[in-house]
Structure 1
Amino acid sequence: MTQLKTTPLNTVHRALRARMVDFGGWEMPVNYGSQVDEHHAVRSDAGMFDVSHMCILDITGTSARAFLRIALANNVDKLKTPGRGLYSCMLNESGGVIDDLIVYYFADEMFRIVVNASTADKDISWLSRLNAQGSFGVTLMPRDDLAILAVQGQNAGEKVWRAIPTAQQLGASLNYFHAIHVKNTPFGTLMIARTGYTGENGFELIVESSHITVLWKTLLAHGVRPCGLGARDTLRLEAGMNLYGQDMDENVSPLDAGLAWTVDFSENRDFVGSAALRAKGQRAAFMGLLLHKNPQGNPAGILRAHQKILTAHGNGEITSGTFSPSLQQSIAFARVPTNVSVGDTVQVVIRDKLLPARMVTLPFVRYGKPLI
């Protein structure tokens, strides 16, 4: 039996009696008691997630920008200001998604990407091959010495600055999808990024692994609630944010996963997978799905991944589904024929029953407010 990897906070999670699960080969907390309470803590106040299982990769060298220009479907030429971040997919030659990631620009010869834990080895191997094939000569450096905490919620900023007052002057005015490095904090040098995976205000804090336990305990003392993978999943689904391996993978085009906005065809840029995307185009629509309630006003069932959707234009499939704590309704992401429209009523097969649902625009919730 393969031993699970652990983050530097593993003993902290256990001390808090978290329920631990195997998540892509990592032992991670799914909740610390009530997943629903953790979800609401983020929507109404502030919660924190250990995301140190994700892989940080520094890409350096004089050809770093040219390398990422062909490696990513989004265009790193948009990154002109140090600290600016960009969400992108990394594609194979067939236009399928190898991974989705965030890339940060810090200098012409220094970029940082954060990739998913379950795909890290595959991603590094793929990038190494592209580097060698194109003779870019860049250095790919996994930063195993660093760890990540995500602090998310309406009051995340207030509590982060109280916990790290030395960072407030630089970080309080940080724009969305921007990052800074703050030196000489009680936790060493911090990279503070105004990003997240919940649809709320918040930050992702990258710190040396040796300091992350003290940072966690300091945030805890300032009222930031520990949250696990369960709440992270319901939050990201309400916020309309894709999960790699469910909503897209190597056999799914970003155009069919609601991610066309992350693909930059400008200037006829030839990134890996661009020819396939141009040739195939969009073959499916990707949108939200809201299950109708029963006549008593209660949830009629729970939408789950891989359930079949029957429409007037052909069949589709749920890619991610859950019960939304914010809406008190069952919600999902749906990949359906392109002729299906927002507002259409469709049928979902749940336990051999056909239940009605309505196609809606994503996201379902943003900044604590229902949007449907």
Structure 2
Amino acid sequence: MTQDLKRTPLYFLHVQAGARLTDFAGWHMPLSYGSQLDEHRAVRAKVGMFDVSHMRVIDVQGSQAKPFLQRLLANDVARLRTVGRAQYSCMLNRRGGVLDDLLVYFFASDEWRLVVNAANAQDDLEWMRSVAADENFDVALTMREELAIIAVQGPQAPRVLWQARPAWKAAAGELKRFTATFVDEVVMVARTGYTGEDGYEIILPASLAAALWNDLAQAGVAPCGLAARDTLRLEAGLNLHGQDMDDSVLPSQAGLSWTVNLDDPARRFIGREALEQAGEQALAFVGLRLLDRGVMRSGAAVQTASGRGVVTSGTLSPTLGVSIAMARVPRAVSVGDAVQVEVRGKWMPAEVVQMPFVRSGTAAGSDNPAT
């Protein structure tokens, strides 16, 4: 592992805990602390915490912040009318490709916050600055590198977070999903996450991160690494930029048409013209469930009655006990169809299924907890 990788404020705690570290987007990040399966199951059944400080916070301020974001993002921030509301959106290039997917938080007409992916952060900031400069938007864009982010996820997340930080409960205890608030001047608590479970993402100064991490551990929260985060997000049907989509993929080709708001014809967001010209695409994004023993992986070929496709993300689901995947396939393919997936040089049967695969610890379409 190279020595020039970046370190989060919690790096030394991960080392002390014996975490297996990996290079992720140029950062030293914990892959797991022992058993990936145990970490995954802790989040589904109880509660786990993730260091996601490699993701970057970009604050957008100024008198034209709102129109700037309406131009920049495919979703429409005008729909955020309540202070603290969050929205998931794609940021597109002029060809309609997904430069990044991100969360945007509304705090005032001239005060917004974005959380972007680590691998794209610098390019994102440069793109935003170029749009602001070229189109004369009066905005200030600040990457808040002094901040850390800890995600606390799982059905017991509210209980343990207020146990670790009881003083925050008065401000954040009644937060609804996709809402955020500042519990003091420097700590933001958001009821968001990337696991398909209830939980919070806490954005706070790096100087406060280790104490919160340790207090959460004392409250019984299991530290979890990137490996569990990946299987959790895949079970939840959540995309990973750079794998399920990139700047050459249109939102509709990644199952993200719902994040594109075309309601206002006057809102000419970047990429809109390309999307309108593209019309209905030949490719669709679907979930797959393997019907044989094996594991579908990214890049695996998919054979359908309508032609070939490709797996974008695949894994062995710890919750369901079978291999699941997300795939880009011909648009004619639909839920219930039988397909074949190439696994280690062998064609294996699979079926097209509805996503998410797991919702709040339960197999989608089932009334019983998934085990």
- Shorter chain as denominator, the TM-score bin is over 0.9
Task: Provide the residue aligned with 2:227 in structure 1.
Answer: 230
State which of 212, 215, 232 in structure 1 corresponds to 2:212: 215
Instruction: Give the distance between the partners of 1:326 and 1:350, measured in 2 at CA.
Output: 21
Instruction: Give the distance between the partners of 1:114 and 1:332, measured in 2 at CA.
Output: 26
Instruction: Give the distance between the partners of 2:288 and 2:167, measured in 1 at CA.
Output: 44
Q: Is the 8 A contact 1:256 1:335 kept in 2?
A: yes
Distance apart, 1:2 and its partner CA: 6.6
**1:2-37 CA deviation, whole Å, 9 max, x = no partner?**
710010000000000000000010010000000000
Unaligned runs of 5+ in 1: 294-299
State which of 273, 276, 289 in structure 2 corresponds to 1:278: 276
Instruction: Give the distance between the partners of 1:60 and 1:98, measured in 2 at CA.
Output: 21
Distance apart, 1:146 and its partner CA: 0.8
Identity %: 51
1:319 paired with 2:312, answer yes
Task: Provide the residue aligned with 2:244 in structure 1.
Answer: 247
**1:308-341 CA deviation, whole Å, 9 max, x = no partner?**
0000001000000000000000000011000001
Q: Greater CA deviation, 362-371 or 161-170?
A: 161-170
Matches within 5 A, 1:1-372: 3-183=4-184, 189-268=186-265, 269-283=267-281, 284-293=283-292, 300-372=293-365
Distance apart, 1:351 and its partner CA: 2.0
Instruction: Give the distance between the partners of 1:96 and 1:137, measured in 2 at CA.
Output: 26
Task: Provide the residue aligned with 1:296 in structure 2.
Answer: none
Instruction: Give the distance between the partners of 1:281 and 1:9, measured in 2 at CA.
Output: 46
Q: Is the 8 A contact 2:55 2:117 kept in 1?
A: yes
**1:194-241 CA deviation, whole Å, 9 max, x = no partner?**
000000000000111001000000000000100000000000000000
Q: Is the 8 A contact 2:171 2:182 kept in 1?
A: no
Distance apart, 1:352 and its partner CA: 2.0
Moved over 3 A (4+): none
Q: Is the 8 A contact 1:84 1:104 kept in 2?
A: yes
Secondary structure at 2:4 match in 1: coil
Superposed CA RMSD in Å reads: 0.9
**1:28-63 CA deviation, whole Å, 9 max, x = no partner?**
000000000000000000000000000000000000
Counterpart of 2:278, as a letter, is K
Secondary structure at 1:189 match in 2: coil
> How high is the TM-score relative to the length of structure 1?
0.96
Counterpart of 2:109, as a letter, is D
Task: Provide the residue aligned with 1:297 in structure 2.
Answer: none
Paired residues in the alignment total 362
Instruction: Give the distance between the partners of 1:193 and 1:203, measured in 2 at CA.
Output: 5
Instruction: Give the distance between the partners of 1:44 and 1:281, measured in 2 at CA.
Output: 42
Instruction: Give the distance between the partners of 1:158 and 1:90, measured in 2 at CA.
Output: 35
Secondary structure at 1:267 match in 2: coil
Q: Is the 8 A contact 1:256 1:282 kept in 2?
A: no
Q: Is the 8 A contact 2:74 2:272 kept in 1?
A: yes
Q: Is the 8 A contact 1:255 1:281 kept in 2?
A: no
> How high is the TM-score relative to the length of structure 2?
0.96
Instruction: Give the distance between the partners of 2:97 and 2:201, measured in 1 at CA.
Output: 28
